[in-house]
Amino acid sequence: MTRFEFETYGMDAALAYFVRTPPRVLSNMRSAVEVTARNVKDTAGENVRAIPQRVGPKGGRLKPLSHAFNYPKVTVENNAAETRVKANGKQARLIGPIENGTPHTAPKKPLKRAADANRADFIRGIEKAVEDGTS
Partner 1 sequence: MALPKRPLIDAVLAQLRADTALADKVHFGAVPDPEHTDAPLDPPYVVVHADTGTGERERLSSTTTTRTDITLTVQAVGGTATQALWWSDRAAARLMDHRPVVAGYTCEPLRHTDSAAIEQVTEFTPTIHYSSDDYVLTARSA
Binding stretches for partner 1 (CB under 8 A): 57-58, 96-97, 99-107, 112
| Cβ closest to partner 1, residue 28 vs residue 43 | 43
| Cβ closest to partner 1, residue 38 vs residue 112 | 112
Min dist CB 105 to partner 1, Å, is 6
| Cβ closest to partner 1, residue 14 vs residue 50 | 50
Min dist CB 36 to partner 1, Å, is 20
CA 77 → CA 27, 63, 86, 96, distances in Å?
Answer: 12, 35, 21, 29
Q: 55 — phi, psi (to 5°)?
A: -135, 175
Give me the amino acid identity at 48: V
H-type alpha helices, the chain: 9-19, 23-49, 63-66, 92-100, 110-134
Min dist CB 104 to partner 1, Å, is 4
